Amino acid sequence: MERPWPEAEEMASSSPDAPCSCDCFVSVPPASAIPAVIFAKNSDRPRDEVQEVVFVPAGTHAPGSRLQCTYIEVEQVSKTHAVILSRPSWLWGAEMGANEHGVCIGNEAVWTKEPLREGEALLGMDLLRLALERSTSAQEALHVITGLLERYGQGGSCLEDPAPFCYHNTFLLADRTEAWVLETAGRLWAAQRIQEGARNISNQLSIGTDISAQHPELQTHAQAQGWWDGQGTFDFAQVFSLTQQPVRMEAAKARFLAGRELLRQQQGGITAEVMMGILRDKESGICMDSGGFRTTASMVSVLPQDPMQPCMHFLTATPDPSRSVFKPFIFGAGVAQAPQVLSPTFGAQDPVRTLPRFQTQVDRRHILYRGHQAALGLMESDQDRGQQLRQKQRDLEQEGLKALRGLLASEWAPPFQELGSLFQAFVKRESQAYL
């Protein structure tokens, strides 16, 4: 069942405590309507923050190489995999992305009893990109993240703002066969393996007693802090969640429950279109537009269990999925960066690079973002022109979904070069539609 495109009205909220939030979803057969794992994420960030879509090719690196992440350097590995990333354009990591081996990851902010560390370390978004570049499966990606957590820790401001805003992270990791939920509290963590069914995460600890793997000191640390008496079955969410939740996490609980219910309603029939519909759901708050935050980018990935079929990733590169186009990306021989979704760079003068950080602002809008913002303005000011633009968006998106269905049914088998240039072609056509 395909959920209809919402009308253009915005969610009415001007709360100063509007949450910085995200929602991730995954469907593993038999919850999926097709023999594929389906991954989805809405990235909810400050409403004027720009997300770019960046392709990074595979690479080899000299022994002893160092890698500059958003704030700190880490040791580079000898080989990194090709990745497609949707990321806030001021930082190194990513909110969500995929690699050439069909691994997808999305992250979420979370606050727990474990205190936030002072100083700069790896952002959750850095950990996400590092895992995609270094893993060939969801489970391997989990090991990459937990290993880096142990060595470098997580920390640093997650917003492009002089006032620091810090959090710990949860992750949803998926590949062609399964998914993992990884939830962290400082260097500590618990993980849950998902081998069938549907699952979502939304800015709160959600792993209870069903723990598939964990940090070796997780329970002893909880006992030492007086958070758990050591009796009965250990419940990670119950033990590590804050006793009094901040407003942003109470709002996340409602979205988590709404997302779980939307998945339950579609059990056995979940497709890419269904996931796109869930990401466009304004009533639940999953498609967010609340105060200073909104959904700034979205992604849906279809990961066929048949390794001979290519994975297809749909990315918006623009805010508000209810008025954006999910454009198809496939790793192939012709893959290159689409310039229309790449933000300008500012080198050593970038406010994230100069100390103290974030004392000035720069214009990070890319070409598609500018065109899309102008189109949103038209949709609100000129009903006839707005309807025409929205129809163009729908038609373009349906072309991408038709290509997906053709690939899965072996009815469309274009040259490898054509597969690789698919995203570039769709981005170019969307940009032209806004002229």
Question: What is the tens place of the pLDDT at every residue in 86-138?
Answer: 999 999 999 999 999 999 999 999 999 999 998 999 999 999 999 999 999 99
Yes or no: say if 397 and 390 are a contact pair by the CB < 8 Å rule.
Answer: no
Give the pLDDT confidence score for residue 8 in this predicted structure. 29
| Helix/strand/coil for 14 | coil
Residues taking part in catalysis: 22
Q: Is the pLDDT of residue 398 over 80?
A: yes
DSSP 5: P
Yes or no: say if 134 and 120 are a contact pair by the CB < 8 Å rule.
Answer: no
The mean per-residue pLDDT over the stretch 186-193 comes to: 98
The mean per-residue pLDDT over the stretch 382-405 comes to: 95
Domain that holds residue 257: 23-349
The burial of 195, by beta-carbon neighbours within 10 Å (0-12 exposed, 13-18 middle, 19 or more buried), is given as exposed
CATH of the domain at 175: 3.60.60.10
Q: Is residue 356 part of a domain?
A: no
Percent of the chain whose pLDDT exceeds 90: 87
Q: Where residue 411 falls among pLDDT bands split at 50, 70, 90?
A: confident
Q: Is residue 15 part of a domain?
A: no
Q: Are β-strands 73-75 and 66-68 bridged in parallel, bridged antiparallel, or unpaired? A: antiparallel
Yes or no: say if 247 and 17 are a contact pair by the CB < 8 Å rule.
Answer: yes
Yes or no: say if 110 and 170 are a contact pair by the CB < 8 Å rule.
Answer: yes
Q: Is residue 154 part of a domain?
A: yes
Q: Is the pLDDT of residue 13 over 50?
A: no
Task: State the Cα–Cα distance between residues 259 and 350, nearest whole angstrom.
Answer: 38
Higher local confidence (pLDDT), 428 or 417: 428
Q: Is residue 421 part of a domain?
A: no
- Concatenated DSSP letters for 15-50? -TT----EEEEEEETTSBSSSEEEEEEEEEEETT--
Q: Within 13 Å and on the Cβ side, how many CA atoms surround 211?
A: 19
The burial of 9, by beta-carbon neighbours within 10 Å (0-12 exposed, 13-18 middle, 19 or more buried), is given as exposed
Q: Is residue 137 part of a domain?
A: yes
The mean per-residue pLDDT over the stretch 41-46 comes to: 97
Q: Where residue 60 falls among pLDDT bands split at 50, 70, 90?
A: very high
| Helix/strand/coil for 79 | strand
Yes or no: say if 30 and 305 are a contact pair by the CB < 8 Å rule.
Answer: no
The token pair at 116 is: 């936030």
| Count of structural domains within the chain | 1
Give the pLDDT confidence score for residue 2 in this predicted structure. 37
Q: Where residue 230 falls among pLDDT bands split at 50, 70, 90?
A: very high
Percent of the chain whose pLDDT exceeds 70: 95
Task: State the Cα–Cα distance between residues 265 and 269, nearest whole angstrom.
Answer: 9
Span of 48-57, 273-282, 323-332, 413-422 with lowest mean pLDDT = 413-422
Amino acid type, 39: F
Span of 19-23, 113-117, 380-384, 424-428 with lowest mean pLDDT = 19-23
Yes or no: say if 155 and 116 are a contact pair by the CB < 8 Å rule.
Answer: yes
How far is CA 141 from each of CA 105, 164, 252, rounded to the nearest angstrom? 9, 28, 25
Q: Is residue 71 part of a domain?
A: yes
Q: Is the pLDDT of residue 1 over 50?
A: no
Looking at every residue in the chain, the average pLDDT score rounds to 93
- Concatenated DSSP letters for 359-401? SS------HHHHHHHHHHHHHHH-HHHHHHHHHHHHHHHHHHH
Output the CA torsion sign for 102, 300, 268, 22. positive
Task: State the Cα–Cα distance between residues 303 and 307, nearest whole angstrom.
Answer: 9
Give the pLDDT confidence score for residue 428 in this predicted structure. 98
Q: Is residue 50 part of a domain?
A: yes
Give the pLDDT confidence score for residue 20 in this predicted structure. 58
Q: Is residue 125 part of a domain?
A: yes
Q: Is the pLDDT of residue 11 over 70?
A: no
Q: Look up tokens 């056509």; give the residue.
A: 429
Give the pLDDT confidence score for residue 21 in this predicted structure. 72
pLDDT, tens digit, 9 for 90 and up, residues 351-378: 999 999 999 999 999 999 999 999 999 9
DSSP 311: P
The token pair at 400 is: 């991408």
